[in-house]
Amino acid sequence: MSISVQEEDFDVGAEIDALTAGRVDVGAVASFVGLVRDANEGSGVSAMTLEHYPGMTEQALADIVAEAEARWRLNAVRVIHRYGRLVPGDRIVFVAVAGAHRGEAFAACEFIMDYLKTRAPFWKREETPQGARWVDAREGDDAAAARWGTGGEGGR
């Protein structure tokens, strides 16, 4: 697995290429890119700042990927999450999973995103015409993580 928590943008094509470079056992790569939207909960969003918990962030992401690797047979996993100030259209997060078949690649990619949304210590603060506000966690995110079978809401 390879995990990066960084301010800088990333190159989606280059990351996917790197995941499979020099190997011939990969039959499928599933990837997800999360972007900053220009609206949320009825307000325009001109920018957002992502705060995180250095140290714990990397550990939490490594734990999530390790759990995916225990559930599915995967060839390689790449996770990138940005922090700092981002504007609409900017990439926030990237998850790519390489496996022998598409089933495990799709499932593991979605699993990692669902767990990341409830377990990785990032917090979004949006800038809107009404002022800056912290984004509230969604109950739907807990539900999405819970459907994978273990507690997604905090890993107690």
Partner 1 sequence: MNVKILFFASLREALGTASESYTLPAGGLTVGTLRAELALRGERWQALAPGRNVRAAVNQRMAGPEVELRPGDEVAFFPPVTGG
> What is the contact surface with partner 1 in residues (CB under 8 A)?
34, 50-53, 55-56, 59-60, 63, 81, 92-93, 113, 116-125, 134-137, 154-156
Nearest to partner 1 of 75, 112 (CB atom): 112
Nearest to partner 1 of 74, 80 (CB atom): 80
State the DSSP code for 26: -
- Residue 46 CA, distance from chain mean position: 22
Question: Are the C-beta atoms of 119 and 37 separated by less than 8 Å?
Answer: no
Nearest to partner 1 of 78, 124 (CB atom): 124
Those residues whose C-beta lies under 8 Å from the C-beta of residue 10, and which sit 6 or more positions away, are: 4, 80, 82, 91, 94
Nearest to partner 1 of 78, 119 (CB atom): 119
Tell me the closest approach of the beta carbon of residue 154 to partner 1, in angstroms: 5
Question: Are the C-beta atoms of 90 and 98 separated by less than 8 Å?
Answer: no
Tell me the closest approach of the beta carbon of residue 44 to partner 1, in angstroms: 18
Tell me the closest approach of the beta carbon of residue 120 to partner 1, in angstroms: 5
Q: Residue 38 and residue 40: Cα distance in Å, rounded?
A: 7
Tell me the closest approach of the beta carbon of residue 122 to partner 1, in angstroms: 3
Nearest 5°: phi and psi at 20? -115, 0
